[in-house]
Structure 1
Amino acid sequence: MTVKQLLNGVVGLLAMVFLLPVAAWAQEEAVSQDNGFEQGVFFFGGRLHDGNIGDNFAPFGVSFEDNFIVGGGFDRDVWSQTNGLAIGVEIGTALRFGESASIELWGGPYLRYDGLIVSDALRISPKIVGGISLVSDTIGSEAERAENTTDTDGRVLFYLTPEISISSLHRPELEYFWRGQHRSGGYGTLGSMFGANAVTFGMRYKF
């Protein structure tokens, strides 16, 4: 890991931690509001890069590839609290294309917090998704890593994707989000390769 990658990873962690003090701005009544949505569909697009998961938070200086990703999915809460904490399941698919083409499928549980209300107008919702990712073929720097790895071909890896969404309390059914797509072997559990990373942006409709 280079110094640049380490710094980007630290910046990413600090960005997530920074969201917690925002809760101090929350209006108690707004936090307790239950919007009644248990599920949603989402769509996103972005670009792959040759960095690591930390570079998704702060992609300064990383080399973006001539490879892109567009996709979507469905998520549903299976447990939630009035304070905004929720656990659910997500499934999704994406097309990765550019230098070559690859289809990705993933699924797994997520943890989300909807209780960060800013000025009684905006809701900020951090979310982390984990699970399994399957691809029809590796692509870009991911393919190069697979060629240099003997314990996996990179087609089946872990999926670990942080997300931060923003929605208006007046239109809570619509969310706009940043999402850091990440897949890797999980420190040797499914192979010793990083896999792929992409910075993406998208929209979710909740119902």
Structure 2
Amino acid sequence: MKHRQLLALLLLRANHAVSTDQLVDGMWPGDPPSSAKGNVKTYISVLRPQVCQAGALIETVPRGYRLLVPVELVDVLLFEALVQAGTRAAQDGDDARAVQHLQRATALWRGEALQDVLPCGGPIRDAATRLNEKRLAVVQDLAAALIRLGRYGDAIDYLRTAVCEEPLRERLWSLLMVALHREGRRADSLAAYLEFRAIIVKSIGLEPSRDLRTLHSRILLDDPL
């Protein structure tokens, strides 16, 4: 497990220097053993030939190490690059190209980020939280682009999965309601609102936001969205 955590910490900062202190903090958050720095050095020596076989290189740098690796070999780096490309395409008004990039980005995911190496806390847990949050933001951007392209069914598929994972995220439900309504499924759109309202009232005792209530009212009136 420690070897995997060390590799994860280096990959999260791929092509950048990571200090030994940062590695110790990531591998033993809050309670490092007295031998921690020596253990890191030992684990590095074990990892070096393995990453070399994969086309990467662990360099020793002042006060730490740097993992040199091509972007295409690391899912998190490729994910970030695809998201940036998709965001630029959307800003340029090219939703078709944005969808291509964002679909490739979401397809890289297999479950939760860093799920095989998560400690109880510390930098790896924080990184996993940020990555999972970013994935959901990308799903929202992807669904919005699909809706703009009139690909409502595809948007609904992504959004249905996402609301199961994050049922309190109102933006996902809003997009789902719009996609369902535009696909001609007004009753399903209204049902989605009621489902979200029941979840949020039960979970945190709050009503949906004014914006979502306004959207619900417009769908009730069958206004074009």
Please give the range of the TM-score, normalised by the shorter of the 2 chains.
Answer: under 0.3
Larger Rg: 2
Higher helix proportion (structure 1 or 2): 2
- Higher normalized contact order (CA 8 Å, seq sep 6+, divided by chain length): 1
Higher strand proportion (structure 1 or 2): 1
- Using the size of structure 2 for normalisation, the TM-score is 0.22
- Using the size of structure 1 for normalisation, the TM-score is 0.23
